[in-house]
Amino acid sequence: MFATHVCLRGSAGVVEVAFTDRHGGVSGPPFDSLDLSDTPDRELELAENSERVARALGVSRLTWMRQAHGREVMVVSSADSPPISCDAMVTSVHHVALSVRVADCVPVVLADADQGVVGVVHAGRAGVVAHIIEASVSTMRMRGARVVEAWVGPHVCGGCYEVPAQMRDEVSAVVPAAYSCTTWGSPSLDLGAAVGRQLMDAGCRVTDVSSCTLESPELFSFRRDSGDSGRSAGIVVLKELAV
């Protein structure tokens, strides 16, 4: 169920960070089995899979967003908040499991466990260019965050993410770290490197727990499977310290 699951204890609570793989759900082939995509004809699968992940994390539900490939950051005040059109969410409320869907883009989890502020970011190519990382960290700091820990989850690697040369030039003009080549020598983008650079420039402590979605059969990849690809998730939840 979890490719990565870690806990960080701070003075304001315990932060749980998780990145899902494709195992432990109810979806049938080719979406087997823990597909967390939001598709109109498979709502029951999403509900069951989401409930299983929430139960494993000890929360009542997962809080999703309608990802728009922009730089909008929303502050969430309740686990019952309806899906919001944005590409990052931030909260300081306990037991709100902020969740980001991915199938090649970079999922990022942010947390300051001492100040009790957490966030998730959907960092695709457009988001990297739009500086969604900087906007997210800034929003956290406005909520009181000081030392922000960042986890970079599974995404398509620079050796696999082939793009036209012009697109590579346009993105790397904004974030030079994105410039890359595939393993077969054609132009590509390394979004993980770009996101890592932006996080460090924003003053975050970065932990990279990524693997390549396209190369790993344990993960969903739109580039590899197109319409037959499901979605994984990056999740963060702030919990109260045990008495």
pLDDT at residue 82 tops 90: no
SS3 at position 86 = coil
The DSSP secondary structure of 91-134, one letter per residue, reads E-STT-EEEEEESSSEEEEEEETTTTEEEEEEE-HHHHHTTHHH
Residues shown for the chain = 243
Residue 146's DSSP bridge partners are none
SS3 at position 41 = coil
Who's near 239: CB < 8 A, 6+ residues apart?
13, 14, 15, 16, 58, 94, 95
Please give the helix or strand (H or E) that residue 195 lies within, else none. helix 191-201
Burial of 7 (0-12, 13-18, 19+ CB in 10 A): exposed
Please give the helix or strand (H or E) that residue 2 lies within, else none. strand 2-10
Domains in the chain: ranges and CATH: 2-239 (3.60.140.10)
Nearest-10 crossing angle of helices 191-201, 132-142 = 30
pLDDT at residue 214 tops 70: yes
* pLDDT, tens digit (0-9, with 9 covering 90-100), for 169-182: 999 999 999 999 99
pLDDT at residue 83 tops 90: no
Distances from the Cα of 62 to the Cαs of 55, 57, 82, 164, 187, in angstroms?
10, 10, 11, 36, 37
> Percent of the chain beyond pLDDT 70?
100
> Percent of the chain beyond pLDDT 90?
95
> What's the pLDDT score for residue 40?
86
DSSP H helix total and E strand total for the chain:
6, 15
Query: What tokens were used for 152?
Result: 């970079």
SS3 content of the chain, % helix, strand, coil (to 5): 25, 30, 45
Give CA–CA dist 1/174, Å, rounded: 36
Q: Find the mean pLDDT for residues 133-147.
A: 98
Give CA–CA dist 130/138, Å, rounded: 14
> What's the pLDDT score for residue 243?
60
> What's the pLDDT score for residue 84?
86
Asked if residues 15 and 7 have their Cβ atoms less than 8 Å apart, the reply is: yes
